[in-house]
Structure 1
Amino acid sequence: MTSDDPLLAARALVLHDLTSYSFADPRAVSILEDAVAERRWWVQEWPEGAAYVAGQVAQDVQDALLDTIGRWPLCKACDLVEPHELRINPELGPDPQWVCERSGMAVSPLGKL
């Protein structure tokens, strides 16, 4: 693997965001590792989609965390009191961003929370 491996880059971005929200415990990191491994086939089958894999990995981790540990990442950017998540936008596209699921406000690029 080279340093320009899109899956390693995706892993680094998601790990940064997990860490910034104090979610980078062994269980969450294991979920991240599984998501990266499962997406390897996707990049192999659709090399042109490599630019989109970071957002896909983030969504995979988010979905798995919701099923096991809890909501991540919670929105801290808007004034709504009720807990709600940030979501990746676009769902399939380059340059994914975290967006408040309630207000639609762009909060941060993936890897910059």
Structure 2
Amino acid sequence: MPDPLLATRALLLHDLAARETVGVDVLALLEEVVAGRRWWIEAWEGGADVVAGQLAQDLQERLLDDAGLRWPACPLHDGAHELRVEPDLGPDPEWVCEDAGERVAPLGGL
């Protein structure tokens, strides 16, 4: 079985690159959020199945807190706000524009 943290890391890395948001500092934050969730999936039996949305949300929070970056910018509203991940705790997370109530892309599909 593939490591769910590494699989989600690859999806997030794709989305970061698609939005031209890749740099040493951003990659370091990505590695930190991935490492920070390892305990979570080991402690919670069903955690591996729903960790992707949590990792995406963790990365968004760290980018905002540490770099002042609202990511990913909403393409439906010319970047006026960031997209949200839904569900944050469930299978198959997607990037969603909350303002329009529209799905923009699956995680890893920006």
Q: TM-score, normalised by structure 1?
A: 0.91
The CA distance in 1 between the partners of 2:19 and 2:61, in whole Å, is 16
The CA distance in 2 between the partners of 1:19 and 1:40, in whole Å, is 24
Identify the residue that residue 93 of structure 2 maps to in structure 1: 96
1:102–1:16 CA distance, 2 compared to 1 (3 A): same
Q: Is the 8 A contact 1:84 1:101 kept in 2?
A: no
Code of the aligned partner of 1:91: D
Runs of at least 4 residues off by over 4 Å: none
How many residues are treated as equivalent by the alignment?
Answer: 109
Gaps of 5+ in 1: none
Which range is displaced more, 45-54 or 92-101? 45-54
Alpha-carbon distance, 1:47 to partner: 2.8
Secondary structure of the equivalent of 1:47?
Answer: coil
RMSD: 1.3
Identify the residue that residue 56 of structure 1 maps to in structure 2: 54
Identify the residue that residue 71 of structure 1 maps to in structure 2: 70
Q: Matched residues, percent identical?
A: 53
Gaps of 5+ in 2: none
Q: Is the 8 A contact 1:98 1:109 kept in 2?
A: yes
